[in-house]
A and B are shown apart, each in its own frame.
Chain A
Amino acid sequence: MNDAEILELSAAGLARAIREKKIGAAKAMEATLARAHAVQPKLNAFLRIDTELALDAARMADKDLARGHLRGPLHGVPMAHKDMYYRKGIASSYGGKVGPSRPAPTTATALERLDAAGSIQFGVLNMAEFAFGPTGHNYHYGHCGNAWDPSRITGGSSSGSGTVVAARASYAALGSDTGGSIRLPASFCGVSGIKPTYGRVSRAGAMPLSFSLDTVGPLARTVEDCALVLGELAGPDARDPTTEARQVPDYMAELRRPVAGLVIGKPRQYFYDGCDAEIAAAMDASLDVFRRLGARVLEVDIPDFEAWNAAAIMIIGAEAAAMHGNWLRTRPQDYSPQVRARLEQGMVVPAAAYIDSLRLRGVALREFCDKVFSKVDVLHAPVVAFQTPGIAETDVGGGPKMAALLAQVTRLTRPGNFLGVPALSVQAGFTKAGMPVGMQLLGRPFDESTLFALGHAYQGTTDHHRRAPAL
């Protein structure tokens, strides 16, 4: 198998090939590193590539396998991750200039679990400054380019994660999602991404943005890969008391669950307000695919999201401002204008409004489940309602256009974070301009399995996820 063929494999496919000794881990790593170095000048997606360390680790993986020791389901699979996951002894950048700037005292649980599963980290990825931006702009390390058109945004905050997976320069990548930061880059870059239920994956050792809303999850080329990686990440962790003790399903087995008879909800309100015609058409086409798979599509009324979005914005602002308070007072000039302005906004949120926002979450989740999930198994919607804009036209900094832009980009993803429900972003086609379009499937709390089953069945009869950008 040549390098191009190796790079076209999914994470699950590569893991299988390594396990069956059809490809060596070192060979896969060499191909990945060559691709990463080749795309970096166009995408600015990597903040660091650990070439020699990664090659040594891959050779060790091959030796382990030769001795009959399979580390886990991701043995030898190369991955790079958003630069906000602690690795003991290494300082993360968080995409910013302010920060602890000290070697991390521990390794993030998410990285520990991927290490234990056999994955090999070969680099760290560009991201929005402190994960506090939905477009992929970064004024400290340079903006990240979309693999389908580097002049357009990747989406954020997991900007590098989305674009390297699309570019075949990493088989999967950790992102984080507080207001849409996995689903937005997955949609804009044409890959899959799962924002798990709040409490499903440990946040220990992951840079906090808003501890009430932060979730950790992967972006990958296929839904199967998302299921494979989430299966390794999920589960309780004594280091993160917000993780739930409930058992993690065998997501790889759940992928094959029949989808015929499932009911998919199409929202009557909110999600299609002002939606671009090509995106709406892609959504309708994806619903037709689900119908052909035997699912039923039902239009549903949804609650009013405007108040919930406002509450989510106040939570994220107040929590981020509290954590950044000391640096905001002592080193304000070291923040980009946009992040500085957003943190200052958080400082002005009244304490009672912040607490009311948290008090509202339980009420909102019950109302949403009663109104939506009493009628359908999942809710289907676009991730964004507009076509992928250019980097230059969305370069609004902290100026007067900032609030409107941020609200527009995260309008369809933020409710999932406020509710804390799982949401899977899946490739749903392309615009006439050749840019990817993503759909999101939202499910009941802890029901990632149904989302995976539907997404996997969809990818079994479509080829959007197989198309690669011509970089």
Chain B
Amino acid sequence: MNNPLKPADAAALLAAQGIEATPEGAEAHARFVTQQLGHSAKEFAQLDFEAEPAGYVAALRTNTR
């Protein structure tokens, strides 16, 4: 399990991009991103070194009927 993103870090990341988050918002954003990273971590870890986004278009074209 990855370490959860801290609300203060989420707020700092937003502030660095010119956006001011409320304390409640920062907490919710940190929780949200932590959840998504947790759900996808295993699949991301299994990706081939060479996998790139264009692989999707190739899959779309070759998995037709």
Q: Which residues of A contact B (CB under 8 A)?
A: 197-199, 212, 244, 306-311, 313-314, 325, 328-329, 332, 341, 344-345, 347-350, 353, 355-363, 365-366, 369, 373, 398, 400, 402-403, 420, 443-447, 450
CB of A347 within 8 A of CB of B32, answer: no
Interface bits B20-49 vs A (CB < 8 Å: 1, else 0): 010011001111110111111011100110
Q: Of A308, A361, A450, which contacts B65 at CB under 8 A?
A: A450
Cβ of B13 < 8 Å from any Cβ of A? yes
- Given A310-B35, A311-B43, A447-B65, check contact A347 B55 (CB 8 Å): no
In Å, the complex CA distance between A23 and B43 comes to 57
In the complex, the answer to whether A344 meets B44 with C-beta atoms within 8 Å is no
Residues of chain B at the chain A interface (Cβ within 8 Å): 5, 10, 13-14, 17-19, 21, 24-25, 28-33, 35-40, 42-44, 47-48, 51-61, 63-65
Query: Quick one: closest A residue to B35, CB to CB?
Result: A310
Asked if A369 meets B63 with Cβ closer than 8 Å, knowing A329-B17, A359-B55, the reply is yes
**A347:B28 contact, CB within 8 angstroms:** no
Q: Are B47 and A325 closer than 8 Å at their CB atoms? A: no
Taking A306-B39, A356-B40 as known contacts, 4 extra A-B pairs with beta carbons closer than 8 A to each other, sorted by chain A number, are A345-B29, A348-B32, A359-B52, A445-B64
Looking at the assembled complex, report how far the CB atom of B46 sits from the nearest CB atom of chain A, in whole angstroms: 8
Supply 10 A–B pairs (Cβ within 8 Å), ascending by A.
A345-B33, A348-B33, A355-B53, A361-B59, A363-B43, A363-B47, A366-B63, A445-B64, A446-B60, A446-B65
Q: Which 3 A-B pairs have the closest CB atoms?
A: A362-B55, A310-B39, A358-B53
- C-alpha spacing A68/B19, complex, angstroms: 60
Determine chain A's interface SS by DSSP, over half rule. helix
Contact A311 B56 (CB under 8 A): no
Assess whether A314 is in contact with B36, with CB atoms less than 8 Å apart. Answer: yes
CB-CB < 8 A to A402: which residues of B?
28
Q: Could you tell me if A348 and B13 are in contact, using CB atoms closer than 8 angstroms?
A: yes
Do B17 and A347 touch across chains, with their CB atoms under 8 A apart?
yes
**Given A403-B28, A445-B64, A362 contacting B43 (CB threshold 8 A):** no
The answer to whether A363 touches B55 (Cβ under 8 A) is yes
Q: Are the CB atoms of B14 and A420 closer together than 8 Å?
A: no
CB-CB under 8 A from A332, the residues of chain B are 19
Establish whether residues A360 and B43, one from each chain, have CB atoms under 8 Å apart when the complex forms: yes
Which of B33, B42, B65 makes the CB contact (< 8 A) with A444?
B65
User: Across the interface, do A357 and B10 meet the contact criterion of CB distance under 8 Å?
Assistant: no
State how many angstroms separate the Cβ of A145 from the closest Cβ of chain B: 29
Q: Is the CB of B61 within 8 A of A347?
A: no
- Could you say which of B31, B54, B58, B60 has the most chain A C-beta atoms within 10 Å of its C-beta? B60
Q: How far is the CB of A59 from chain B (nearest CB, A)?
A: 44
Q: Is the CB of B40 within 8 A of A353?
A: yes
Q: Cβ of B47 and Cβ of A347 under 8 Å apart? A: no
| CB closest chain-B residue, reference A355 | B53
Given contacts A310-B35, A313-B36, A403-B32, contact A363 B18 (CB under 8 A): no
Q: Give the residue of A359, A373, A403, A443 whose beta carbon is less than 8 angstroms from that of B47.
A: A359
Q: Are B63 and A310 in contact (CB under 8 A)?
A: no
**Contact (Cβ within 8 A) B44 A356:** yes
- Which residues on A sit within 8 Å (CB–CB) of B21? 344
Given contacts A357-B40, A360-B43, A362-B51, contact A445 B19 (CB under 8 A): no
B28 CB to closest chain A CB, in angstroms? 7
Separation of A373 and B60 alpha carbons in the complex (Å) = 13
Q: Smallest distance from the beta carbon of B40 to chain A beta carbons, Å?
A: 4
Among A355, A356, A443, max chain B CB count under 10 A is at A356
Cβ contacts under 8 Å, B14 to chain A: 344, 347-348
B19–A444 touching, CB < 8 Å:
no
Nearest chain A residue, comparing its CB with the CB of B36: A310
Once the chains bind, are B44 and A446 in contact (CB under 8 Å)? no
A363 CB contacts on chain B under 8 angstroms: 43, 47-48, 51, 55, 59
A307 and B53 in contact (CB under 8 A), knowing A348-B33, A362-B58, A365-B60? Answer: no
Contact between chains at B60 and A199 (CB < 8 Å): yes
CA distance A314 to B35 in the complex (A): 11
Nearest CB of B to A142, in Å: 25
Asked if residues B64 and A444 are in contact (CB atoms below 8 Å), the reply is: yes
Cα A256 to Cα B63 in complex, Å, equals 24
Q: Which of B5, B24, B39 has the most CB of A within 10 A?
A: B39
Q: Find out whether the CB atom of A361 lies under 8 angstroms from the CB atom of B17.
A: no
Measured CA separation A445–B59 after assembly (Å): 9
Q: Which residues of A contact B35 (CB under 8 A)?
A: 310
State in angstroms the CA–CA spacing of A306 and B19 once bound together: 30
User: Known: A353-B37, A403-B28. Is A362-B56 also a contact (CB below 8 A)?
Assistant: yes
B63: nearest chain-A partner, CB-CB: A369
Measured between C-beta atoms, what is the minimum distance from A269 to chain B in Å? 16
B residues in contact with A344, CB < 8 Å: 14, 19, 21, 25, 29
